[in-house]
């Protein structure tokens, strides 16, 4: 029996990349998964792929910037699955920085924060009463943060949103714990997703800076999410778990300069 047999799960931004890998992993361990994405066709394609592998998945278009859409997605999951036990906040927005910080636009800053941080807040707010009602204190929220929320890797608005998401994880964990719901965050390093199409040379160059010698795969992140969402992590809440190939503990360029390498 899989770790998520009988669980109802909602994953945002799950039409591709990390979100799709998370949905596939949890469905593979027995969960009923609602695959949500801003692009409904992409969500349906991801859900169909899960069903082809023998998993249970439905798809629904959902804009996490829209409170009504979020509440409808949560209600849909509860209606279809009879329960909502796990929420995975993966939807995000990331605009490139302008060359000069002062040239940044208010609308792109607001969009990145609204989708990445406030979107997760909307989803958690809608889902929490149902997660608290889950049997055996198995309700869990796992959000996808980033090493950008821990250290400077560029992208001002995105990094600020991810840092805020880590803060929300801690405060919400304290609030939700007496209600039987755990709240944690996974902070990936560079992950090879479709978003890197056409920039593979950058990925190859980045790999050399990672102590483990490669960039991540969506499946690496999905494995960590599955752990934190499962009863294997029943005594873990409020943490940020870096899944980053060691990049946060390595300053290889500076180390090389100091050691004359």
Residue from 7, 121, 158, 210 carrying the catalytic annotation = 158
Q: Specify whether 158 is catalytic.
A: yes
DSSP result, the chain:
--TTTT-EEEESS-SSHHHHHHHHHHHHTT-EEEEEESSHHHHHHHHHHHHHTT-EEEEEE--TT-HHHHHHHHHHHHHHHS---EEEE-----PPPPSSGGG--HHHHHHHHIIIIIHHHHHHHHHHHHHHTSGGG--EEEEE--GGGTS--S-HHHHHHHHHHHHHHHHHHHHHGGGT-EEEEEEE-SB--GGGTT-HHHHHHHHTTSTTSS-B-HHHHHHHHHHHHSGGGTT--S-EEEESTTGGG--HHHHHHHHT-
Residues recognised as catalytic:
158
């Amino acid at each position: 029996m899989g770790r998520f047999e009988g669980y109802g799960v909602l994953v945002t931004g799950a039409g591709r990349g990390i979100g799709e890998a998370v949905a596939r992993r949890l469905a593979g361990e027995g969960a009923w998964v609602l695959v949500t994405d801003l692009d409904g066709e992409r969500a349906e394609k991801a859900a169909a792929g899960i069903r082809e592998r023998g998993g249970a998945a439905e798809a629904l278009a959902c804009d996490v910037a829209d409170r009504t859409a979020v509440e409808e997605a949560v209600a849909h999951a509860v209606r279809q699955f009879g329960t909502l036990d796990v929420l995975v906040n993966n939807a995000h927005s990331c605009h490139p920085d302008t060359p000069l910080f002062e040239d940044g636009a208010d609308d792109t800053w607001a969009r990145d924060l609204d989708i990445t941080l406030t979107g997760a807040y909307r989803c958690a707010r809608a889902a929490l009463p149902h997660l608290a009602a889950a049997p055996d204190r198995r309700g869990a929220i796992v959000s996808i943060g980033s090493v950008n929320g821990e250290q400077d890797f560029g992208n001002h608005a995105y990094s600020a949103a991810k840092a805020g998401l880590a803060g929300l994880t801690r405060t919400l964990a304290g609030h939700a714990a007496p209600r039987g719901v755990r709240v944690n965050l996974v902070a990936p390093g560079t992950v090879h997703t479709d978003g890197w199409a056409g920039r593979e040379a950058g990925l190859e160059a980045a790999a050399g800076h990672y102590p483990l010698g490669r960039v991540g795969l969506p499946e690496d992140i999905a494995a960590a999410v599955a752990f934190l969402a499962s009863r294997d992590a029943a005594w873990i809440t409020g943490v940020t778990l870096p899944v980053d190939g060691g990049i946060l503990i390595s300053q290889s360029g500076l180390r090389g300069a100091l050691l004359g390498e």
